């Protein structure tokens, strides 16, 4: 028997028509990953870790039958289909779409392909603001704190604007 589980994803874009990029990603996630349960507002932030165009960021919750590694593979395919070009230099760059798995139920996963919860999510307001909007009282599985507490403890000083 397959069980549906809730995963939280972060979506970001800073190239082209940002609203369309987010909507297209949401549509493909709904078609290929599982039913969208909740979508945050859009938040505008400066590029993080490099000089580039401003980003639009959202978080969504999705009910899925996929296991975490299969989920990641499908999300990478969606990114590619929407025009995401990756370099192997492990540096931050402009992107048409970026989709990250933040949480997968309350699981803690360390594998060669994926780490859940996302290892840098607590350092980034552009991730936490939209996530807290849709999952304020959810617990971070490692910190054992509610997400809104994690946001209050975030040391990221960058500005964030709700669109």
pLDDT of residue 83: 79
Determine contact, residues 48/92, Cβ cutoff 8 Å.
yes
Cα distance between residue 24 and residue 162, in whole Å: 20
Tens digits of residue pLDDT in 112-141: 999 999 999 999 999 999 999 999 999 999
pLDDT of residue 88: 60
Higher pLDDT, 80 or 147: 147
Q: Is the pLDDT of residue 89 over 60?
A: no
Q: How confident is the model at residue 92 (pLDDT cuts 50, 70, 90)?
A: low
140-144 contacts, C-beta under 8 A, 24 or more apart = 140/103, 141/103, 141/106, 141/107, 141/108, 141/117, 142/108, 142/117
pLDDT of residue 27: 97
* Region at 95 (left for phi over 0; alpha for psi -120 to 50; beta for the rest): beta
Tens digits of residue pLDDT in 8-61: 999 999 999 999 999 999 999 999 999 999 999 999 998 876 678 899 999 999
Query: Exposed e or buried b for every residue in 3-25, given b needs 16+ CB within 10 A?
Result: eebbbbbbbbbbbeebeebbebb
Best CA proximity match to 19, nearest among 47, 51, 43: 43
pLDDT of residue 90: 60
- Could you tell me how far CA 104 lies from the centroid of its own chain? 11
pLDDT of residue 91: 62
Beta bridge partners of 161: 44
The mean per-residue pLDDT over the stretch 75-102 comes to 81
DSSP state of 41: P
The mean per-residue pLDDT over the stretch 56-85 comes to 93
Q: Is the pLDDT of residue 63 over 80?
A: yes
């Amino acid at each position: 028997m397959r069980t549906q589980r809730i995963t939280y994803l972060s979506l970001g874009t800073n190239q082209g028509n940002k609203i369309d990029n987010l909507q297209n990603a949401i549509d493909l996630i709904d078609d290929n990953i599982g039913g969208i349960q909740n979508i945050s507002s859009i938040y505008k932030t400066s590029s993080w870790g490099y000089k580039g165009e401003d980003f639009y960021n959202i978080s969504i919750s999705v009910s899925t039958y996929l296991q975490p590694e299969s989920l990641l593979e499908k999300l990478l395919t969606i990114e590619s289909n929407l025009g995401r070009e990756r370099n192997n230099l492990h540096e931050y760059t402009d992107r048409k779409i970026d989709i990250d798995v933040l949480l997968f139920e309350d699981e803690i996963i360390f594998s060669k392909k994926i780490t859940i919860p996302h290892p840098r999510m607590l350092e980034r307001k552009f991730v936490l603001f939209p996530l807290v909007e849709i999952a304020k009282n959810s617990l971070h599985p490692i910190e054992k704190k509610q997400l809104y507490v994690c946001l209050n403890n975030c040391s990221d000083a960058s500005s964030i604007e709700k669109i």
